[in-house]
Amino acid sequence: MDATFEDSDQAEKLVHQPVEKETIVHYPNLLAGFWIRFWAYLVDLLVIGSVNRILIYPLFSLIGLDTNDSFIFSPVSIATAITYFAYFILMTKLFNQTLGKMVFGLKVVSLKDENINWVTIIFRELIGRYISKMIWIGFLISAFTPKKQALHDIFAETIVIHEKIFSKKVNEKTFATSPNPTEI
């Protein structure tokens, strides 16, 4: 079937009809992927391990408590677990990032609120991180999810972004405007 117009006036109006084009440029923060988060986590483990070796173990030795952490519920194991979770909870609440994330320019942000509240932080860093630590796939899934979220991010509805790296997103809208009556 032919797509020509029978009425040439109608074709003229369509050809000469003004069209407006609106371009919206948006620069959202780039999402942090698996590998950059992995390296930040290793820096965090280095910091936590250093705090444990500088403070916890000498303190337990000074008090006369056993520093053998082969039993999961030994006093030193409980103290180092408290250090681990307290580090992530306090650093994320106070700065929205840990020292490892600071080194790599990453930041934790909420998908639903502007500021992350205590409930979200505790849920993300205590419960979610505990589950992710027990099941290593919890960290690994950040490589495959669209928003690059680990399991504890999905639970708490948070994402990790690059602070100073943005991606350019362009949306173009084209729409026809009605002709000006003075132009006709």
Q: Is 162 helix (H, G, I), strand (E, B) or coil?
A: strand
Q: How do strand 19-26 and strand 158-166 relate by DSSP bridges?
A: unpaired
Token pair, residue 103, equals 């080194």
> How far is it, in rounded angstroms, from Cα 152 to Cα 172?
35
What are the tens digits of pLDDT across the range 76-94?
999 999 999 999 999 999 9
- Write out the chain's pLDDT in tens, 184 residues: 555 555 555 555 555 566 677 777 666 788 999 999 999 999 999 999 999 999 999 999 999 888 787 777 888 999 999 999 999 999 999 999 999 999 999 999 999 878 899 999 999 998 888 887 788 788 889 999 999 999 899 989 999 999 987 777 777 777 666 655 555 5
Confidence (pTM): 0.75
> How far is it, in rounded angstroms, from Cα 41 to Cα 100?
6
Q: How far is CA 144 from CA 94, 141, 151, in A?
A: 29, 5, 11
What are the tens digits of pLDDT across the range 126-161?
888 888 778 878 888 999 999 999 989 998 999 999
Q: Where are the domains of the chain?
A: 29-166
Length of the chain: 184
Q: What is the pLDDT of residue 1?
A: 52
> How far is it, in rounded angstroms, from Cα 8 to Cα 80?
83
Cβ atoms within 10 Å, residue 136: 8
Q: How far is CA 86 from CA 34, 90, 131, 180, in A?
A: 23, 6, 16, 66
Nearest Cα to 56, choosing from 36, 80, 39? Answer: 80
